[in-house]
Structure 1
Amino acid sequence: MRIKIHHLFIALFLSVLTSGFGQERKVAKGNKQFNQYAFVDSQKIYLRVAEEGYESADLFAKLGDSFYYNADYSEAVNWYSKLIEKYQSEVTPNQYFRYAQALRAEQEYDKSEEMIARYQELSDGSEDLYAEQSISEIKEGSASYEIEKLKANAAKYSDFAPAFYGEQLLFSSTRDTGVFTRRVHKWNNQPFLDLYVGDIDDQNQVNTVSKLGGSVNTEFHESTAVLSPDGNALYFTRNNFTKDQYRADSNKTNRLKLYKAAKTAEGLGAIEELPFNDNSFSTAHPAITPDGKTLYFASDRPGSLGESDLWKVAINEDGSFGTVENLGDKINTPGRETFPFISKDGKLYFSTDGRAGLGGLDVYVYDFESETLENVGAPVNSTKDDFTFIINSDTGKGFFASNRANDPLDDDIYSFIKAACESTLIVKVVDKETKEPLNGALVGIRNLDNDLIASGSAEAPEATYTFQDPECGEEYFARAEMEGYMTDEKLVEIPSESSEVTVILELEPAVTAIPPSFDLGKLINPIYFDFDKSNIRPDAAVELAKIIEILKEYPELHIDVRSHTDSRGNDAYNLALSERRNQSTIDYIVEEGGIARERLSGRGYGETQLLNECSNGVDCTKEQHQLNRRSEFIVQDY
């Protein structure tokens, strides 16, 4: 059976190298339980409590939230950092998320990325930064690409490794030989690759193909080339054949090496071998960053994590090179990573068989800015080998190679055009309780840096605001506010393909006065007592400090303090115990808070008003009993 030409390079990497290449953000309602009721300026209350020296995870979190929603990100960072520093075990995923956004607003990008990482670690069901995609996601991944096989492919020959060469396409082909061997290890019987160029037309097809001039092509293999951004040098892969000498390793295997050809007005001239090559391993498939300062390549050199890895090396101003660096396990796997390409927008495209994919080599893209790795998806990827992917990120046009055609020699080049993505984000604003549209509500669209990029009113009859042409694949915050309602906000992810996205923001009606008989205990965490105890615990002191500040904020307010016990113990004893707890609670508010005693009334109710079924003789857990050991703070007429 005949050997597929891109598998020649797999054989060379095994003897040599490898071959051809929202979750929705949950936003706290106002300031959680306390801030659900707009009759209290929560921020003012919390700050007073904090100034009195009280500390708790709940207090710091609500302060962070209150400043965050008021766009005071500096103060939000201050309180979120205190929360994480002192109560790390109690920090929720969403608090990490908001902290990260506040840090971005303060341009603390490194710290923000650290918090995003913690958010993803703690979020139930949250996708890890480098988690593998499902098959269905991969199949749908690049549905916006329209691919077409190049007419310039030579029948019965292998064509692959496309590269931009000015206005032309540079690629590798065996079209001059047509000689393919049954045995990979018999070097003299293997087909020889040369570099060719062709003109690219408006339909992204290639015409008028000719062999690359100059001294690059030899009697051995030349492949996978890249032109430097300044156009002065061509880096390419060749067999270990330097200065007319054919070299091999200790096992007599001829490895791959990288070479550089100087480009002059007369064409490609002097060729030099790059200094980090070696006879004992392969170095191949060059790619250069748009600024021309870094060279990426594939190699099975010592230190590789798998059969071949992606590496990089700095290109110094004098033309020398820095220290070779492995890209690490964010990119490399125990399998084969190969055929890198760096797009104009700085993304790394490469092929690998070390990750879940559709089959064979799949093309992946790594975004250095967001540190995310994704399978490019179908139709670029297939069940066969797909590799040497290149793209002009300005035009959305590019090329790749694949052996999907099942020809005897089936490496072919395909062109693609990425269809324009045109999306719409529709924001609907409704009353949370009645679900009626809130026409006239103010809607703002913010990016992940919390910059306001669009705003307007929710228009009748359905209270909708339309944000035209959001960036596909990006995330936005949609926020709505209206007088008499609490603010709501959601994180919205715009798909990579054209789509219409609708998000519904539900605004909760704000309470503008404290109603009689309202229990202020709903605004705080429960005031619990230890079993058979009536003293104020430290956690209860934090919550009582909030009650004290409410009483200071509303000097006309009178409250009735009601204390309760669980059912364990004698009924008469429990009644007396609840009286002692009631007295301790009132005394604390008066003595520690400076509140006039005549503004407070109350008594103990013992076990007469249980919150659950845990009455005398009922078998309940400690946690169930503790729910009944509580205090209530009922507003009286004022």
Structure 2
Amino acid sequence: MTLKTFAWATAFALACSGPVKAAELLGAGVISTGLQETTAALSPDGKTLYFLRSDFAEKDDTILVAHRRGDSWSTPEVASFSGQWHDSEPAYAPDGKRLYFVSNRPPHTGEAPVTAEMGGQTFAGTNLWYVERQADGRWGEPVHVEGALNEGAMLYNPSVAANGDIYFSAHRPDAGKLYQIYVVHPTGNGYSAPQRVELGDLTHNRMDPCVDPQGRFLLFAGNEGDSLGSADIYIAFRQGDGSWGKPEHLGGDVNTASLENAPTLGPGFGELYVSSNRQEEVHFPKARDDAASLQKRLNGPLNGSRNIWRVDIGDVLRAHGIKG
């Protein structure tokens, strides 16, 4: 399903990071509904999808799983490791053998659930966990990732590179007033201390990193001063000296005047999934609603809830010398 009413957004592509093909709503009415859906995690073969479904206030987050059936998706079910705690933001390791996520569940037996505090508010915190694929194909029991990365209990949207580096967004002492992106590297007995990814001025909020498995580019949500909405999707490319280039605003149908966040990569080249609360335009006078048509539209995917959208940024990658 293509949201033609957002075609106007392509006009911004001339000043942005190149053409992006039209956005398609993922699994209308099945995956993307009138609730909040974000953070698509596709298996390497593209046949299994994990994602987050939540209430509008995002106080009741649960990870669901669906399976591709031809051109459609099966009815989502609660993931085997979710359903009891505030679980969110699933992310596959590139080889598909682990699935990472964040949760407020007690880190160890007998401990209290994780909480966080910011601006005088206390809320469900997050630590990093993973499940590992077993010989029978099922996921094992959740494993808590130990280390300094969980300090502060505000770790969000993990993304894993092929070399084992884990990127995430967090509010930490060196993040300024907002959120920034961090990376940890695997060591012999865990992970290194978190290192802030240098992307520019700390007055800009940067969330939801998604790293290319080969580390060639990094996507994230934020506002670098040219966002069309409260948050847009940006891309930064790895430079020859190992640093990251200046973030570039993605054009085309990736970004609109609505909120865009939670970028994730699919298994195909240039296959990008984003969360967005873009709505279908209503023109007045509209065709007169009855109670049934009004309820159907207001409960549908394009009611202002966040949904998952698929776009193709292959042209952007090729323009920066990335072929596949």
TM range (shorter): 0.7 to 0.9
Q: What is the 5 A alignment of 1:17-32?
A: none
Gaps of 5+ in 2: 1-10, 281-301
1:174-211 CA-to-partner distances (Å, cap 9, x unmatched) read 3xxxx555xx8xxxxx333223233285xxx6511432
The equivalent position to 2:126 in structure 1, one of 256, 260, 263, is: 256
Does the aligned pair in 1 maintain the 2:183–2:195 contact within 8 Å? yes
How far is 1:258 from its partner? 1.4
CA separation in 1, counterparts of 2:135 and 2:33? 34
The equivalent position to 1:283 in structure 2, one of 127, 147, 155, is: 155
Corresponding position of 1:220 = 85
1:534-570 CA-to-partner distances (Å, cap 9, x unmatched) read xxxxxxxxxxxxxxxxxxxxxxxxxxxxxxxxxxxxx
Given the superposition, is the C-alpha separation of residues 241 and 409 from structure 1 closer, same or farther in structure 2, using an over 3 Å criterion?
farther
Does the aligned pair in 1 maintain the 2:42–2:267 contact within 8 Å? no
Q: Does 1:169 align with 2:49?
A: yes
Q: Does 1:148 align with 2:34?
A: no
Q: CA RMSD in A?
A: 3.1
Corresponding position of 1:396 = 270
SS in 1 for 2:35: coil
Structure having the higher helix fraction is 1
The equivalent position to 1:410 in structure 2, one of 285, 305, 310, is: 305
State which structure, 1 or 2, has the greater radius of gyration over its C-alpha atoms: 1
Given the superposition, is the C-alpha separation of residues 372 and 287 from structure 1 closer, same or farther in structure 2, using an over 3 Å criterion?
same
Q: Normalising by the residue count of structure 2, what TM-score does the alignment of the two structures yield? A: 0.73
The equivalent position to 1:363 in structure 2, one of 233, 237, 257, is: 233
Counterpart of 1:347, as a letter, is: F
Q: What is the 5 A alignment of 1:533-552?
A: none
1:42-78 CA-to-partner distances (Å, cap 9, x unmatched) read xxxxxxxxxxxxxxxxxxxxxxxxxxxxxxxxxxxxx
Corresponding position of 2:171 = 300
Gaps of 5+ in 1: 1-134, 185-189, 422-470, 476-495, 497-638
CA separation in 2, counterparts of 1:409 and 1:359? 14
1:315-336 CA-to-partner distances (Å, cap 9, x unmatched) read 23x46111210112x2563232
Q: What is the 5 A alignment of 1:569-580?
A: none
SS in 1 for 2:247: strand
Given the superposition, is the C-alpha separation of residues 357 and 195 from structure 1 closer, same or farther in structure 2, using an over 3 Å criterion?
same
Q: Normalising by the residue count of structure 1, what TM-score does the alignment of the two structures yield? A: 0.39
Given the superposition, is the C-alpha separation of residues 334 and 298 from structure 1 closer, same or farther in structure 2, using an over 3 Å criterion?
same
SS in 2 for 1:413: strand
Q: Does 1:230 align with 2:100?
A: no
Does the aligned pair in 1 maintain the 2:169–2:209 contact within 8 Å? yes
Given the superposition, is the C-alpha separation of residues 367 and 237 from structure 1 closer, same or farther in structure 2, using an over 3 Å criterion?
same
Does the aligned pair in 1 maintain the 2:44–2:95 contact within 8 Å? no
CA separation in 2, counterparts of 1:191 and 1:139? 39
Structure having the higher strand fraction is 2
Does the aligned pair in 2 maintain the 1:400–1:415 contact within 8 Å? yes
Q: What is the 5 A alignment of 1:347-386?
A: 347-369=217-239, 371-386=245-260
How far is 1:310 from its partner? 0.1
CA separation in 1, counterparts of 2:141 and 2:189? 14
Does the aligned pair in 2 maintain the 1:194–1:221 contact within 8 Å? no
Corresponding position of 2:299 = none
How far is 1:239 from its partner? 2.3
The equivalent position to 2:77 in structure 1, one of 211, 214, 232, is: 211
